[in-house]
Every structure is written in C-alpha cells, then in structure tokens.
Structure 1
C-alpha cells in the first residue's frame, strides 16, 4: 500500500511539473509573441520597391520617367475611384476571406504545407491578397523558406499598420496587369481607354483575371485564354453573391472594345534623354546602376517637358513611320547651355540608338557658318567680300594636291558676296574662303565653339566632310546665338537621395567669351538670309513667325537643318543607320521638322530680335561691287559689318562724278538711319506679319 501511494504521489508530481512547465512555456510563448508583435508594430516597413525607383524630373519638377528596369507605367488611384465590380471581382477570385482574416489563410496554408512536405520542396502556396502585396512591394518571387518567413513578417506588419481598405487600395495600385501596366488605373486606360471608375462588370471581370498570368491571360496575346479566365472570375462572383447567373451570362456575352495596340503607351517620355542621363550618372558621376534603378534618387534635369513634346510631335509628323529613315533633334538654350529637348530617333521601341550623340555624320554645308565666323573674326572676310562662283580647281599642300568642288546641280552664280553665298549655300565661295584663311584656323574655331570630334584640316572641311554629332552642332551654334558666349551643354542640375539630401549639384559655370560679339552678330544677320528669298530654307520661312538664323546641309547620306533664335539653338539630322544614300525628298525633311518644332516650342514666347552688340555698324552697299552705295548707285542694300571693316570705296553707278560734300553728308545721315532701321527692322517685320 505504501509503495502504491508513493508511486501515485510521484506520478502526481510529474503531472504537476509537466503542467507547470507547459504553463511556463505558454507564458514564455505569449510573452515572446507579444514581444514580436510589439517589435513588428514598432518597426517600420522597408521602402517599397515601387517607391525606390529613381525618378527623372524636368526643369519645372515634373516627372519625366523612372529608372526602373521594367519601365513601369503606373497611375495611383484612390479606392473610391475604382469600380465596385472590379473590387468585388478581384476579391472573389484572389482572396474571398480578405475582410475576415488577419493576413493569412490558415486552412489554405495547412493544405499547402502538406503538399510541400509531400514533394519536399516549395511547390504550392496559399497567398492571401495581403501576402501578395507584401511580396510585390518588398520581396522577390523565388520559392524559398527564407523568403516565405520575410513575407509572413511583412504581411503581419501590413495588417497591423493599415486598414483593409488601405491594403486593398495599395494592392490594386501595385498589381501587374501586363504590357507594362502596374495598377488598375493604368490597366483600365491601356486596355479600354477609360478610368478604373468607369469599368463595367464585363471589363472588370476581364481585368481581374489577368494578374494570375499577365502574358497568358492578356486579351492582346491570347483572347481565348482571356475569355476563359473571365468566365472563371464571373463564376467566382456568383459564388460570393456579388452577381446573379443572369448578370454573369450577360457580361460574358458583352462585346468588349479594346484600345488598339497601336494607341497603347509603349515608352515613357523622352526615353533617349533618360538613357543619356543614365550614362552621365553612371560613367561621369559614379552612381551605380543599382542605386540609379532602386535608390530612390530624384534627378532634376534641364529638360522642358513642354518643349520636349513639341520636339517629339515635330519628329512624328515629319518622318515616315514605315521607312527605315532615322532622325535626331536636340535643342539647347544659348543663354544657359541647358538641353531643353532631345529626340534621339524616330521610334525608341524599335531603335534605341541615340542619334543625337552619333559622331559619324557629315554636317555638309551646315558646317559653313563655323568657317565663315573664323573669317569674319579674323577680318579677312566681310559681308561685302566678293568671290566668283564658277568651276574652280584649288591647289593646296604646297601645290602637291588639288581639289575641285562643285555646286549642287552645277549651278554657278558668278560674282557674289557673303550673304548671297550663305543663302544659296555656294560651295565655290566656301572653299575660296577656307583657302584664304587656312583650315587650321577653322579647326581651332570649331574647338572653341565646343566641337570635340576630330576635324581634318583640308579644303573640303569647308563643305562639312568631317563627321560631328547633332549635339556638337547645336552647342556650336548656341555660341553664335549667344553673341559669342559659350556655356557647355548641361543636362543634370541636381540629384537628391531618398531622404531629400543633395548628393550632386551642377557646378556654377560662367559663360566664356570665345568669339568676338560683333563677329557673331554679323554672322547671325547673314544666316537670316537662309530663310529669305533665294535661301535654302526659304520654303519653311512662312512657318516661323520670329527672327531666326540657320543653315541647311545636305550630303549623299545626311540632311541637316541647324539654326537658332535668341532662346533656342536646334540641330535636326535625317539619314539612315546603314549610311545609304538619301533621296531628294528625304533630304527635305529636316527643315520642316526644325520649323515646326521652333515655332511650337516658342509658341508662348514673344518674338525677340537678336541683340546688337557694340562694334557693329550698318551701311548701305552696292551688292554687285561690295562698295558703299553712293550718289547714282541705284542698287543698294543695308548690310552689317564689324566696325572698321565696312567698305570705304564708293559706288557712283554710271556716273564718274564723286559725291559732293553735301552728298557725303547725306550718305552719312542715310547710313545712320540704316543703323536705326537695322535695330528695329525685326519689330517692324513682326508687326507686319501680325497684321497679315
């Protein structure tokens, strides 16, 4: 009996000890659980993947694009602005117990665990809507136990920190619907051309079925799969009591009107400029690709989105979408060096080469102004200098080599001055000029203007035979537009990190005088003749309602229009990547693109004349002789000169009688009047255009 009692007491002791230990373990478990819950609640969620994408902003702070590898198209929208049918369809097919659970479907998880143990791998999941959101925001989609543990932690935190409606809203703004569309608003706009609030039942069921397999269930890729999936979604909505069988049948039979694929947004704004900025950030500023893609950086640029859209529209209207012909447009503010617009090609989706940066293109006659600027500044040439435009054989390199250029169409104009030579793009006049001043000086001038490509100092340089890039040409012409002041092209103004701290700021660079202002102005006035009667750009002059100067250029493979106003210096190039010959019609595309862009980009800017610097004089000359227009000289033209280079000889017409003192005094008054007319002529022209 005593032994029996002892055994009973011993057994009771062990039971009490067991319960005590269980109680302790339970208490510890509860304490640990409470601690974990407190920790999870107090700990901030990591920065969401979608929020870490670095952004590209224009000069006004408007977002241009993101640097995410996928190029997301996302439009956030409030839950109340999403059609209830879409919300119900999503919950019915993705997570029916969403409103009731705490982030986890315990029964579903149990079934998934058994299947995974059976297969000894992560083969099946039971993700709730909250779990999907956690994975999309913070994690990869790999099937590992570590990732599942992190997913559980982030899921719990989401449920603690946000309401069900907030989680649902985040989910619907984050989920991927295919073809680059993230979020229901972007999807509704892409597929149906309407807002998420306007979706009907049939459209909602179609979109709600896509996230399970964005490629497989895309109506653009596989319509049958998409319709089959739509039927499954509608059936789920019947089972959850959201709709009746009749409503489901009607929705399934509804003919859906999808937005044509040709109208879908395929790329973000300014894609070539985005790639240009990426290259600068990585190669010049030392920012890693990973930081650029997911570091939450804000990159503030010089681009003006309104001007950029004008450039893209001009290119779209000026080019043939079906042709292999390519193009490039870049525009710089001469006053600051800011790159305001960049279009590197006709279609970024099919060709990512940024032709703005291509240094394999011959500028042709568009290079001539750089040579003429050299001659004007050295005072070896003036507006009145005359050469004979005729077939000519030039000797150079100590007479060991010869060069025989020709004019387009073998048209020779005889005795012409510089204004006529620029307007008609005369090649003989140009080579005469470079032979007079020396090609080495032209190379030096080009380098001062910012051209870094290697230039061959030979007579043919006058005709633009050394390749340069459109960016170099726009930059060089911007110096002329700025009256000889050079500011290197700038694209990035400032970069801030995810916390708003400035990690890069563009250095303050002062404009440097690299050309005599008077020489730059005289050349500008001469280049205006390109858009006047007889000029190679005259056919587009009616499209530009403001003072503009420029130069066309055409070779066998390239067509150019480079020009400027006081606000924008723009280069347009047209040609083939393969370097094949362009047709006459292809060669005529650059000028209209330039004209349309310039006028549209400056539509809100009042026309402005080019500022007249000191050391510039205006006098009346006789174009045939290049002399001052005196008494009896009927043919006269007001012309500009660098002070001290104006002609001193007088043309008397058919009479040999020299001007009397009174005539000389009258001519001086006339020339002074000419100076005033020169300063006010563009304002008068603008008023005339306005009235017309």
Structure 2
C-alpha cells in the first residue's frame, strides 16, 4: 500500500497505462534489440512516437463517511493537491536534491549507465534486485507508471519509461514533477506537503538547512524523519550538505554554517487523513471482504462508502486528547458501533497515527472486570437471578475433578463487604469473589460458550480466573459482545464499509443479526448494568458527563483500564494502557472512564433515545439487598430487580419484618376471660 491521504481539494491527476500497451512495449523492446544498431535507432523513434500512458484526469478511489464527507483518497502517487511550479521551489532545495539523488540529471539521458552497471553487478552478486542506481527520471517513471516491486522486469520497464519521458518532456518538467510527487514520509507527498508537515511553512520560505534536511528524506523517510529521530536526521543532512559541496553548489564554509543552523520542527501536525485509524480499517476491509485488489484501488474509479459518523469521530478523538496526560507514552483506544447493525461509527486506535499507526482498537488486552457482563449473562441463562447472594470476603476456592486445586480471590485493594451481596450490588461494586463463585457454580465452559455466542473470538480457557477477564480480547470484540445486550439479544458482525461503487463489482452482503440470548436476559443485564453509574457504583465518578441513563461496566488490571457501555443507539468500548504493558499508576487506572463518559455524553445529545422497556414476561420486585428477600416497609435500602415469573423471591425480608399487632378479643373471648378470672 502506498498511502491513504487526506483529500479535501480537487481530484488528483493519475497516470494510467492504456489497455493493450504491454504488447506494444514488448515489440518496442525485442524487435529493435534483435536488429542491432539500426534497431536501437528504430526503438528510440518508436519511444518518441508511442504515447505516454494516458495523462487524462482519472478519478482516484475515494473513501467517504456515512454522510458523504470525503475522508481520504487512494492513488499510487498520492494526492497532487499542493503542486508548486519549479520557479517557486528554492534553488537550495533543487540543488540539494540533484546533489544527493542525481548529480548528472541535466547531462545524462534518462539512464546513468555507470550507476546502472554498478547496481547490476551488486544485484547479480546477491541474486536479486537490492540496489537501484536510478536517475531522477527513472524514479519519476516508477512513481507514475509502475509498482514498487523489486524485480528485473520492473527495472527494465522503468528504464524504458524513463527514456520515453525524456523524449516527450523537458528536464525542467521532469524535475518539477518529481519534486511534487516524491514521498517525504508521514504521508506527505511533494515538497509543499513536506514543508508544511516538518516546518509548518510554505516551501518558498525554506532556508538552506531545511532544504538539505528535506532533500535527504526520500532515501529513507521512516529513518531520517526529524519528527522521530533528530540525530539521524542531522546525520543525513550532513551527508546532503557534503554532496552539495562536492557538486560545487556550496562552499565548505556555507555547508558548515547550514549544519549549525538550528532546525525548528513543527510541533503540531494536521493528520494526513481524517480518522486515519478508521480509514485504514475500511481500506483493509474493502480488500478482504469485497475482493478489491490493491491494484484495483490504485487504478481508481472506486467510491468506498463507510459507516463513520464524523461528529462522533470528532467527539471520540477529542475525548482521548483531552483526557490522556500530555508528555506521557500512555495510549488509548475507542471503538463505537451501532448495536442494531454492527456499523462502526467511530474508532480511535491511538493518540497519534503519524507516530504510531498500530491500531489498538483491534489489539487484544486483558479486559478485567468488563468481562463480567458476559459472565453474568451466562449465569442468568443458567438459573441465576438478581436475588442470588454470595458472601463478599477473602475466599479460597477448591475446584478440579478431584477437588485438589485451589484459587484464592482478592478484591481490589483487599477491600470486602464482609456480607452477602446480591448480583446488582456485586456488579456495581465489581466484586471478584462473587464473580469467581458464579463462574465455578455454572461451569466455566458455559461462560466460554456464551462469550463465543456474543462475539468474542479470541482464545479463552475455562479456568476460574476467566471470570476476572485474564484472557485478552480487543476493544472491538468487547463492543460487539455488549451490543448483544444493547439490541435485545442479537449478535452483530462489526463492519466499516457499507458499499463500494464500482462498475461490475459485486458487493458483499453483511451477515444478518442472529439471536443468541433471550430478550428477557438482555433486559435483565441492561437493567443491572445501570447500577454501575449510580451511587456506590465503580463508574459513578463520571456520571456528571452524562445527560441520561446508560448501562456500563468498568474494568481494571495491573496494566489495563477499561470502560464499556451503551445506550439503545450506540455501544462504546474504551481501553487505556501502555504498549509495553507497563503497570498503571492509580491515577492512570481511572482514565478510561472519563474518556468513555465524555464521548457518550455527546452520543446522548447527538442520538437521542427512549430507554428500554422491560421485555415481555418480566416483572419487577423490590428487594432488600442485605437479605435478597422481598423488601418490607421497614427496609431502609431497597433495589428493584426484574424476574421471570416463578424465579422471584417469595419470602419477605426476615431482618426488617414488621412487628405482629395484638389481636383484639371477641366478646365471647372477653366473657370467657372474665368468668375464668373470677371463678
């Protein structure tokens, strides 16, 4: 893949070879070679009169958001949206480029025979193409007309295209075109884009030191970028300045002065594409799910309609940027999907795509207590009810076929309620003892099966620790699993591409939602998860960011912080942590919740909703959470839970039972009592 880049302006001029031109090229090569000197002359004539590949405007592949906003466009040469004429490019940049790339550019004819011969010897010694020896004209031909394959056939075609270019165009035109399409790193193609990226200025305003640094980048943009390694960038700048001295463009004193000139690298860079992590996912999906080849993407004339909501994407990026501490290496990921369809509406894979394109929204990490949403869904399906109670205290569980294995469970900070908890309170407090007890009671294999049904595809093992989220899953998987609860029990398949406009292209159909749990269980879990955002819940600290009711679950491990939750219209999962698995500080372990809440506050405004109604067949009962029994008028703390008829508690709270009133005596009893007293 060459690039995906922002395209807020006009379409790019893309060169495309005419159909059937390959046979003409074969004829132009082999027939003249077979006829000696006369044939070589004939070949030059043919190259002069054969047309260059079509230079008409071709629509590139466009990538659009759900509402039609252009996110990016894909071409083999990048966008040509910032072309500058040669007259505007500083002479120092032109000289530096010639000195380091092709000193004899204005003297040779397309091919540097000496460099080519040297490269051929090196390649023969290695048994493959490892060195190019290409002139600027050859590099331009490769960028305009060919792939980046390192093969002998491609090098031969590159040389012939270079010869044809010089027979059709002037040296100045070729140099100018080269400077406007060559890749300078971090998604910047052409000198103008590179100048803005690295120095936040127009190419006209570059000084000698900046020109030398820029000219050294095409050799290895990822190695010599001043954004990633200023030491290597300065080393490369020194090489360029030395080459300029050798070529006669500078004196030694001028080169030394330029090397000592301070370089002020831009500190803020506009992303080369909108929603770059999402765009990369969409392109990859287009290639895999729609059988679109990379070559087809390069050829253009495709329009990829994605599922992205630009407003929600902006809110997601803002939530991450305003929450993560500046100057830290800590990373975050956020993914939001429509629970009814699986459409990905927003996705952030890290804090900066340019410095780290690794997509953490797709990366498995330990989910911690967010896995309990899946665990308790399995429990409700296997006979548990909200009234089930488990003692919250330091517990060592004995398990295994022979009851010869032990597993000691600790709550966060070794703080325990030291009393029985109902399912609602255990979920709100994120009690680990309750979770492991539940896991072993229903059987870990049933929890694994439930996770599979809800959309978790990562490896899971039926161990006691499964309940505590020790097996890594990705944020996208977790959002998919919680979507099953948000939509009433259907599993959806997440996707980023809605359709692709392409002549003759068969569009893939997205899988239909599949019911995997009952609507009653989905509603019970949703109702229980709202307690996480209420007083005494682990998510209560961020409830002020929200404007209405929501369901959610927090999760924390030594190295990962999570929050996942939903409204009827959207599910969002957030992860925070270090790529190196460095342990989180106490403050860092609480960063996922505000990111989630800031984003979901915008969601509630942008996508208003009516909260869920109880599923048919469920009835509410008021319980005393201390006993798990039906509350009485004397119970000071109560909770309302929903039950399938026949599973609800039937006895009242024994701790707060009202005193029995004295029974009044009947007249007959009073008379009998009077008679008994006197006689």
* TM-score, normalising length: structure 1: 0.67
Matched, 1:614 2:615: yes
Can you list the C-alpha shifts for 1:579-624, whole angstroms capped at 9, x where unaligned? Answer: 4543333322222222233334x27515424321432333433333
CA contact (8 A) 2:109 2:166 kept: no
The answer to whether the aligner puts 1:59 opposite 2:60 as a matched pair is no
CA shift for structure 1 position 293: 5.5
CA deviation profile, 1:431-458 (whole Å, cap 9, x unmatched): 3333433333222221210112333223
Q: Which residue of 2 aligns with 1:183?
A: 190
Work out the CA distance in 1 between the residues paired with 2:270 and 2:78. 8
Note the 1:526-675 alignment, pairs <5 A. 526-600=528-602, 602=603, 605-615=606-616, 616-633=618-635, 635-642=637-644, 645-651=647-653, 653-657=656-660
Deviations 1:71-96 (A, max 9, x none): x77461487xx89755999999999x
- SS of the residue aligned with 1:480? helix
Q: Which residue of 1 aligns with 2:366?
A: 362
Deviations 1:626-665, CA, capped at 9 Å, x for gaps = 344445555444444445544444459442459xxxxxxx
- Establish whether residue 343 from structure 1 lines up as the match of residue 348 from structure 2: yes
Q: CA deviation at 1:158?
A: 7.1
Which residue of structure 1 lines up, in the alignment, with residue 54 of structure 2? 45
Q: Deviations over 1:358-380 (max 9, x none)?
A: 34x33221111112112223442
Shift of 1:341: 3.0
Distance in structure 1 (CA, Å) of the matches to 2:329 and 2:410: 30
Between the two proteins, the alignment pairs up a number of residues equal to 584
Which sits farther off after the overlay, 453-462 or 363-372?
453-462
- 1:66-465 counterparts in 2 under 5 A? 74=79, 76-77=81-82, 85-86=88-89, 136-138=143-145, 147=158, 149-151=160-162, 153-154=164-165, 173-174=180-181, 180-183=187-190, 185-193=192-200, 199=204, 221=233, 260-264=265-269, 268-277=273-282, 280=285, 287-291=292-296, 298-320=303-325, 323=328, 325-348=330-353, 351=356, 353-359=358-364, 361-382=365-386, 384-398=387-401, 400-401=403-404, 402-408=406-412, 409-465=414-470
> Is the Cα contact below 8 Å between 1:357 and 1:470 reproduced in 2?
yes
The Cα of 1:154 is off from its aligned counterpart by: 4.8
For the structure 1 residues 502 and 396, does the alpha-carbon distance in structure 2 shift closer, same or farther, using more than 3 Å as the test?
farther
TM-aligned CA deviation for residue 266 of structure 1 = 7.2
Question: What is the alpha-carbon distance in structure 2 between the residues aligned to residue 618 and residue 339 of structure 1?
Answer: 34
Q: Partners in 1 of 2:513 and 2:623 — Cα distance?
A: 35
Higher helix share: 1
Give the superposition deviation at 1:474.
1.3
| Matches of 1:291 and 1:428, distance apart in 2 | 55
Query: CA distance change for structure 1 residues 63 and 173 in 2, over 3 Å: closer, same or farther?
Result: farther
1:240 is matched with: none
The RMSD of aligned alpha carbons is 5.3
User: 3-state DSSP class of the match of 2:606?
Assistant: coil
Q: CA deviation at 1:130?
A: 10
Preserved CA contact (<8 Å) 2:410 2:432: yes
How far is 1:111 from its partner? 12
Q: Please tell me whether the aligned partners of residues 209 and 230 of structure 1 are also in contact (alpha carbons under 8 angstroms).
A: no
| 2:505 is equivalent to residue 494 of structure 1 | no
Distance 2:560 2:210 in 1: 49
CA–CA separation in structure 2 for the residues paired with 1:623 and 1:369: 20
8 Å contact from structure 1 (residues 493, 505) kept in 2: no
Is 2:330–2:577's contact at 8 Å kept on the other side of the alignment? yes
| Partner SS, residue 409 of structure 2 | coil
Q: Contact conserved, 2:110 with 2:162, CA < 8 A, in 1?
A: no
Q: In the alignment, is residue 511 of structure 1 matched against residue 516 of structure 2?
A: no
Question: Which segments of 5 or more consecutive residues in structure 1 lack a partner in the other structure?
Answer: 1-31, 96-105, 237-251, 659-692
Looking at structure 2, the residues matched to 335 and 467 of structure 1 have their Cα atoms a distance apart, in angstroms, of 25
**1:485 equivalent in structure 2:** 490
Displacement of 1:481: 1.2
User: Kindly tell me: are residues 634 and 84 of structure 1, through their superposed partners in 2, closer, same or farther at Cα, counting changes over 3 Å?
Assistant: same
Following superposition, the deviation at residue 276 of structure 1 comes to: 4.2
Q: Output the CA distance in 1 between the equivalents of 2:629 and 2:112.
A: 99
SS at match of 1:505: coil
Give the Cα–Cα distance (whole angstroms) in 1 for the partners of residues 325 and 494 of structure 2: 30
Q: Which has the larger radius of gyration?
A: 1
| Alignment partner of 1:475 out of 480, 484, 491 | 480
Residues 74, 181 of structure 1: 8 Å contact kept: no
1:99 corresponds to: none
Q: Indicate how the Cα distance of structure 1 residues 215 and 317 shifts in structure 2: closer, same or farther if over 3 A, else same.
A: farther
Structure 2 unaligned blocks of 5 or more: 1-41, 99-104, 121-132, 251-256, 662-679
Pick which of 518-527 and 642-651 moved more: 642-651
Cα shift readout 1:340-395 (whole Å, capped 9, x = no counterpart): 33333445555554433334x3322111111211222344212x333322333434
Distance 1:654 1:381, change over 3 A: closer
Q: Deviations over 1:386-408 (max 9, x none)?
A: 33223334343356144332322
Name the SS of the counterpart of 1:507 in structure 2: coil
In the TM superposition, what is the alpha-carbon distance from 1:488 to its structure 2 partner?
A: 1.2
TM-aligned CA deviation for residue 300 of structure 1:
3.6
Counterparts of 2:417 and 2:94 in 1: how far apart (Å)? 79
177-186 vs 469-478, which moves further = 177-186
Deviation at 1:322, TM superposition (A): 5.1
Normalised to the residue count of structure 2, the TM-score between the two structures is 0.68
**d(CA) in 2 for partners of 1:431, 1:62:** 48
The residue number in structure 2 matching 1:525 is 527
Q: 1:195 to 1:483 in 2, by over 3 A?
A: farther
Rounded Cα–Cα distance in structure 2 between residues aligned with 1:155 and 1:474 = 56
CA deviation string 1:179-206 (max 9, x = no partner): 653235424532553567xx56x77997
